[in-house]
């Protein structure tokens, strides 16, 4: 009998062992590693980041390589002709830095020459496409300055070594994916620019799937940057080509704009969420304000771990996001031009003011969400997250604006330009509207950085240990995507795959509607409609690229909402 019992126990233990391995907790499996990890919207660029880590580089070296590589592998969003925001965490020093390399409007730009109308008076007569496409649509690009500044201050390897595999990638080319071919096909502005047309089209048709796309001009531009740093881009041969093209096409940019471009650096903004410090981008980012405002409000409510898909949770997400977008719609802009009251915007007093009329049974009318007393955005941005084996980390979000930006490629450089001139509040002074298009903080001025919703984010635990690196593209949907991931990890104890794939909603201000993804159940959308949220089915929202750190182990997950993203890890 004793042997029968022992045999039975052995069988049971064997079955349990098999079940614990085979019966996975979730269908969304993170990539696991105790070494370095890169998560980006292109697996080809993620692999280059790991190549740099394997050569002895740190997270910042890898981030610089990935940032330049995405201009090749994801040209509709990855760029050196745009701008963005970066968070850098140095584990040994226990310090976190914020780098603002957002583009800024050229010094000789003006509303009259841009639109040929008087705004806001002649709003109905204005062709806003002039701020979206062509040579006058671009701010002075900041990406090169931002990436090189990060490398200069925090990198380990020589810049030439960091850019070597990127230059090789541009020279040898990449195989065009189905997604890239279709993105080119849908971006009609590329056809209007001869240089862009010569790169992205062949015989009048978009580059086809499985064709080879080489970028020799871009490789030469990268070579100059590798040799001369920022001067290789903002001065010399590349700058000369920029200015010649601007002069030939009545653009705003002049030599001084390029030579004088500077990044802004300092500390990110931060708030506690259930005792966990959440760091994100400050002004001119409005996305960070939305995220922290929403977290401040959500923090006043308790969630059960089983409530990640409850109607109550979606209602609170919607109400907190609406108030967050209200908070950024008037007093967030370039801090060099406007005294942004950031401490007030994310204060306990402001949180209490915003929360006091939140009701559980109905949506709050936009008129009841008041601005602090004192534009439509593109979704085609990209984000990547990186950690190295020493625990240093980077969270970076950057953009061209629209998919393929302004459509303009500067001849002889391979540099595709942004259309961030579109992001100013050109209706400032128009008393008939209350939304962001009339924001006093984001009104247009020459030399100014436009507001953005990019929100690269890092979360630490109560012991001060880094536990989450995340961020997303998505225009005004960015805060909703990041909020859902942060809440999923902290409130519902989900793995990073599960948190990433939770259905997302978006609630803006002052608009009545609530956007939701198709994966949200019809029962919940019907209940939200009954509550007055006016739900509208949307396409997917964002594409978070995240790393969750648990007990020294990195769990990476590339959002399935957009193709070709990937997690690469050191082995």
Per-residue buried b or exposed e for 455-476, using 16+ beta carbons within 10 Å of the residue's own CB: bbbbbbeeeeebbbbbbbbbbb
Q: pLDDT tens across 226-281, in order? A: 999 999 999 999 999 999 999 999 999 999 999 999 999 999 999 999 999 999 99
- Give the residue numbers annotated as catalytic, written as ranges: 381
Query: Which pLDDT belongs to residue 379?
Result: 62
- Report the pLDDT averaged over residues 367-375: 55
pLDDT at 318 over 80: yes
State how far Cα 430 lies from the chain centre: 30
With contact defined as beta carbons under 8 Å apart, do 404 and 76 qualify?
A: yes
Query: Which pLDDT belongs to residue 372?
Result: 56
With contact defined as beta carbons under 8 Å apart, do 243 and 254 qualify?
A: yes
What's the burial of 179, exposed, middle or buried (CB within 10 Å: 0-12/13-18/19+)? middle
Query: Which pLDDT belongs to residue 429?
Result: 87
Classify domain 267-378+452-556 by CATH architecture: Orthogonal Bundle (1.10)
pLDDT at 1 over 50: no
State how far Cα 301 lies from the chain centre: 28
Q: What is the average pLDDT score of the chain? A: 92
Measured distance CA(298)–CA(292) in Å, rounded:
10
- Report the pLDDT averaged over residues 351-366: 85
Torsion region of 199: left, alpha or beta (phi above 0 gives left; psi -120 to 50 gives alpha): alpha
pTM above 0.85, yes or no: yes
Measured distance CA(389)–CA(251) in Å, rounded:
45
Residues forming a β-bridge with 458: 279, 469
Per-residue buried b or exposed e for 279-312, using 16+ beta carbons within 10 Å of the residue's own CB: bbbbbbbbbbbbbbbbbbbbbeeebeeeebeebe
What's the burial of 91, exposed, middle or buried (CB within 10 Å: 0-12/13-18/19+)? middle
Nearest to 541 by CA among 508, 571, 566: 508
pLDDT at 38 over 60: yes
- Report the pLDDT averaged over residues 205-233: 98
Band of residue 3 on the pLDDT scale cut at 50, 70, 90: very low
Query: Which pLDDT belongs to residue 70?
Result: 98
Provide the angle, in degrees to the nearest 10, between the axes of the packed helices 236-248 and 216-228: 130
């Amino acid at each position: 009998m004793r042997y029968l019992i022992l045999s039975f126990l052995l069988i049971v233990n064997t079955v349990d062992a098999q079940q614990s391995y085979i019966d996975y907790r979730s269908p969304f499996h993170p990539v696991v590693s105790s070494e370095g990890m890169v998560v980006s919207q292109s697996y080809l660029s993620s692999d280059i980041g790991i190549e740099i880590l394997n050569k002895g580089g740190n997270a910042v070296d890898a981030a610089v390589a990935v940032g330049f590589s995405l201009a090749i592998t994801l040209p509709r969003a990855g760029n050196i002709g745009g701008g963005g925001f970066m968070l850098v965490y140095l584990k040994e020093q226990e310090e976190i830095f914020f780098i603002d390399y957002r583009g800024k409007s050229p010094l000789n730009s003006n509303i009259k020459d841009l639109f040929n109308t008087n705004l806001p008076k002649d709003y109905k007569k204005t062709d806003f496409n002039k701020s979206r496409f062509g040579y006058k649509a671009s701010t002075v690009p900041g990406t090169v300055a931002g990436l090189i500044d990060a490398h200069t201050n925090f990198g380990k390897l020589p810049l030439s070594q960091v850019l070597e595999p990127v230059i090789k990638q541009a020279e040898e080319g990449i195989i065009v994916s189905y997604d890239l071919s279709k993105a080119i096909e849908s971006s009609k502005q590329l056809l209007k620019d001869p240089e862009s047309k010569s790169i992205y089209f062949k015989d009048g048709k978009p580059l086809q799937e499985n064709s080879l796309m080489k970028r020799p001009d871009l490789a030469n531009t990268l070579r100059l940057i590798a040799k001369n740093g920022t001067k290789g881009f903002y001065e010399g041969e590349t700058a000369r080509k920029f200015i010649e093209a601007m002069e030939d096409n009545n653009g705003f940019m002049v030599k001084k704009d390029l030579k004088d471009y500077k990044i802004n650096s300092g500390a990110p903004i931060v708030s506690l969420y259930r005792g966990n410090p959440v760091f994100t981008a400050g002004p001119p980012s409005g996305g960070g304000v939305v995220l922290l405002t929403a977290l401040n409000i959500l923090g006043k409510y308790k969630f059960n771990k089983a409530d990640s898909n409850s109607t109550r949770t979606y209602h609170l997400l919607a109400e907190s996001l609406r108030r967050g977008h209200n908070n950024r719609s008037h007093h967030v802009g370039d801090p060099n031009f406007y005294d942004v009251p950031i401490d007030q915007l994310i204060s306990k007093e402001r949180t209490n003011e915003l929360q006091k009329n939140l009701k559980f049974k109905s949506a709050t009318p936009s008129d009841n969400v008041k601005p602090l007393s004192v534009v439509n955005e593109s979704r085609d941005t990209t984000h990547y997250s990186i950690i190295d084996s020493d625990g240093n980390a980077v969270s970076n979000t950057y953009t061209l604006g629209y998919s393929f930006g302004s459509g303009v490629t500067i001849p002889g450089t391979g540099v595709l330009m942004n259309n961030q001139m579109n992001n100013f509040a050109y209706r400032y002074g128009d008393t008939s509207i209350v939304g962001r298009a009339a924001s006093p903080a984001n009104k247009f001025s020459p030399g100014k950085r436009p507001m953005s919703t990019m929100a690269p984010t890092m979360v630490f635990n109560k012991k001060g240990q880094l536990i989450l690196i995340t961020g997303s593209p998505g225009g005004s949907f960015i805060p909703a995507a990041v909020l859902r991931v942060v809440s999923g990890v902290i409130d519902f104890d989900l793995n990073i795959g599960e948190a990433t794939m939770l259905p997302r909603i978006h609630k803006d201000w002052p608009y009545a509607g609530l956007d939701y993804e198709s994966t949200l159940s019809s029962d919940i959308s019907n209940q939200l409609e009954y509550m007055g949220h006016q739900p509208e089915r949307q396409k997917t929202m964002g594409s978070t690229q995240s790393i969750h750190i648990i007990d020294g182990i990195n769990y990476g997950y590339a959002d399935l909402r957009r193709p070709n993203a990937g997690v690469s890890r050191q082995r």
